Amino acid sequence: DVRLKWLGLFHRRKHQYGRYLASVIKQYGEQGCADVTTRQNWQIRGVTLSDVPSILKGLDEVGLTSLQSGMDNVRNPVGNPLAGIDPYEIVDTRPYTNLLSQFITANPRGNPEFTNLPRKWNVCVIGSHDLYEHPHINDLAYMPATKNDRFGFNLLVGGFFSPKRCAEAIPLDAWVPAEDVVPVCGAILEAYRDLGTRGNRQKTRMMWLIDELGVEGFRSEVVKRMSEQALERASSEDLVDPKWERRDMFGVNPQKQEGLSFVGLHVPVGRVQADDMDE
């Protein structure tokens, strides 16, 4: 299988990307297919190992990459799937998710600083009241909030679920201005990389480290790794409406751009065949 890390959202990709992926899986007949993942990626399945070098070369030629998309790496930064077109969005998440992707993969030459974490690590930027981005199961979630008339994000940390344990992300009691999205991500990753347990893989996600150090102890380790060695406390001006009723996006829905609409579709189990992708 080849997992693809998109520098952005998969449904904004140009048609030639999808056509290339379709051409790859079509070679393998019934064994070839592609899966849409919950982290806004594509996985192409059924490929043979001997073909992987040429497939990777083709990905690079059309502007895609599978760099740092598996093993104990940072998974694809997730944003609002309706970013830029949601009539109720709080903030367009694309600039932030793209910056995070570029930072994590060194755009995309490869960033060895974060290629050997204790375990996989998930990050999301919230742009919707609906919380489509699932902040509570991400290792780091950026929750939009203002502070003294500045826009930024409160931070949640430690969310994950596994057969061993399910843990909801908890407040770090920290707020960062929008321009510090990348620096604080780097500081948190460095703290996890340097201090996280590397033994029993059932107990190596970041929340186990937070349990060991305590929230304030973990926070202090993050602060040590910030260039200014400072991190503001959380803001009380949260922009996410806690009483918001989550919307059903199936079917045709109006965009924020007057006269335009988007269509919400269901892909059963996320699986797509070559002919479907071509269409």
* CATH at 122: 3.30.413.10
Question: How many domains does the chain divide into?
Answer: 2
**Domain C-terminal end among 40, 66, 92:** 66
pLDDT band at 65, cuts 50/70/90? confident
pTM for the model: 0.91
Q: What is the residue-averaged pLDDT of the chain?
A: 91
Q: What is the DSSP string of 162-211?
A: -SS-EE--EEEEEEEEGGGHHHHHHHHHHHHHHHS--S-GGG-SHHHHHH
What is residue 138's three-state secondary structure? coil
Beta-bridge partner residues of 151 = 146
Chain segment 170-202, per-residue pLDDT in tens: 999 999 999 999 999 999 999 999 999 998 999
pLDDT band at 37, cuts 50/70/90? confident
Q: Is the pLDDT of residue 204 over 70?
A: yes
For residue 192, give both structure tokens: 């996890």
For residue 119, give both structure tokens: 């375990």
Say whether both 76 and 210 belong to one domain. yes
What is residue 122's three-state secondary structure? coil
Which one has a higher pLDDT value, 164 or 92? 92
Chain segment 70-84, per-residue pLDDT in tens: 789 999 899 999 999
How far the first Cα of the chain sits from its last, in Å, is: 23
Place of tokens 């290339």: 20
Domain span at residue 141? Answer: 67-241
